[in-house]
Amino acid sequence: MMVRALVLRVLRALGTAWLIASAVFLLSRSLPGGGPHLFTDERAGTFGQQTTAEAQYQRRLELQTPLFYFRLLPGRWYGTPNQYHTWLGQLSRGQLGQSYRDDVAVTEHLAQALRLTLPLTVSALCVAAGLGLLLAQCAARRPRWYRWLLSAAYFLDSLPLFVIGMVLLLLLANPDFLSLLPAYGLPADYSAAGALSWSAVPYFVLPVLALTLSSLPALLLPLMGALREQWQQPYMVTARAKGVSPRQAGWRHALPNAAPVFITRLADLAPGVVAGAVVIEVVFALPGMGRLLAEAAAARDVPVLVGGVLLIAAVRLLAWLLADVANALLDPRLL
């Protein structure tokens, strides 16, 4: 029964990811001027030569075929020789196509960007999860902490992510205030093709802190409520009457019963942190997914944009699957 429920959820998530990616693909190609063009200047040749080069470029990318299987107004059936069918065939083989800008595989572009984005997002998620657990436990036992953390969490939740990043820059990377950390970029010895070195750690402190502060309220608020509810249950009163310390009662008794709330919120937060990393990487000038997708959007590089959408959808799918498995192990009744 549990396996069947998990399989059904995976299939629904896969269908949702396919619909989102298909919508991005079709809308980006159907907009006026949405397809890629060969950029030339006056020195590249006469108008006729430029037109010929543009036509050859369009044929090489197979952009002269119809966009979809049919056209509604006026109605016409094109069949399988179309751009969407070609894209679906590549996707079924695990290929995301080639970039329009440099003819490099989209998977290679994504892999290179993830060398920076993955450590950034994983670090932010781990710090936010650990800090959320500690603060929620303190708030559940101390009413004064609960009121203070509730106000702080709502305040942080009201701030856009880029505002949090800019405030951190003004406070901790400002020569006129405190110049404790680098403001942007990466060290000179950083190589996009290699692993990050220890010299890059100071450059990650502010981006990780910004993502952590932005993500923390989504974890802290529901977990504080769940833990406070558990502290009011009769079994907690019994545990305290038997001499269990408040710290042990919170971690050994209250937290396991509130864990499904925490796991579900963490799974919902994971794709949001990946999407937030796009904003943070632009603010702090980091060459990760943010720069890749921003440059792809400016150049109308549809394969790279669709690949980014699929990546975020895959993160959400994996997070949901892991959360369902963890919750099913804690309590099979949740499926």
pLDDT in tens, 146-168: 889 989 999 998 888 889 988 98
Whether 141 has a pLDDT exceeding 60, the answer reads yes
| Average per-residue pLDDT for the chain | 79
In a domain, 95, yes or no: no
Domain encompassing residue 265 = 108-334
Burial 306-327 (b: 16+ CB within 10 A, else e): bbbbbbbbebbbebbeebbebb
Model's pTM, two decimal places? Answer: 0.76
**Range with the largest mean pLDDT of 12-21, 60-69, 262-271:** 262-271
In a domain, 55, yes or no: no
Of 137, 170, 155, 125, which Cα lies nearest the Cα of 267?
Answer: 125
CA distance 68 to 82: 6
The total of structural domains in the chain comes to 1
Is 334 within 8 Å of 60 (Cβ atoms)?
Answer: no
Whether 328 has a pLDDT exceeding 70, the answer reads yes
Q: 208 versus 79: which is more confidently predicted?
A: 208
In a domain, 16, yes or no: no
Whether 313 has a pLDDT exceeding 90, the answer reads no
In a domain, 51, yes or no: no
Q: Check residue 211 and give its pLDDT.
A: 92
Whether 3 has a pLDDT exceeding 80, the answer reads no
Of 199, 200, 161, 167, which Cα lies nearest the Cα of 286?
Answer: 200
Mean pLDDT, residues 66-72 taken together? 82
Q: Check residue 43 and give its pLDDT.
A: 44
- For the chain, percent of residues with pLDDT exceeding 90: 7
In a domain, 254, yes or no: yes
- Summarize pLDDT for 95-140 with one digit per residue, the tens: 888 887 888 888 888 888 888 888 888 899 999 999 999 999 888 8
Q: 125 versus 323: which is more confidently predicted?
A: 125
Is 102 within 8 Å of 95 (Cβ atoms)?
Answer: no
Q: Check residue 36 and give its pLDDT.
A: 54
Q: What number of other Cβ atoms are within 10 A of residue 144's Cβ?
A: 9
Whether 279 has a pLDDT exceeding 70, the answer reads yes
Indicate which CATH number applies to the domain containing 284.
1.10.3720.10
Q: Check residue 189 and give its pLDDT.
A: 62
In a domain, 69, yes or no: no
In a domain, 238, yes or no: yes
Q: Please report which confidence band the pLDDT of residue 335 belongs to, taking 50, 70 and 90 as the band edges.
A: low
Of 197, 218, 203, which Cα lies nearest the Cα of 169?
Answer: 203
In a domain, 256, yes or no: yes
Mean pLDDT, residues 303-311 taken together? 83
Whether 289 has a pLDDT exceeding 90, the answer reads no
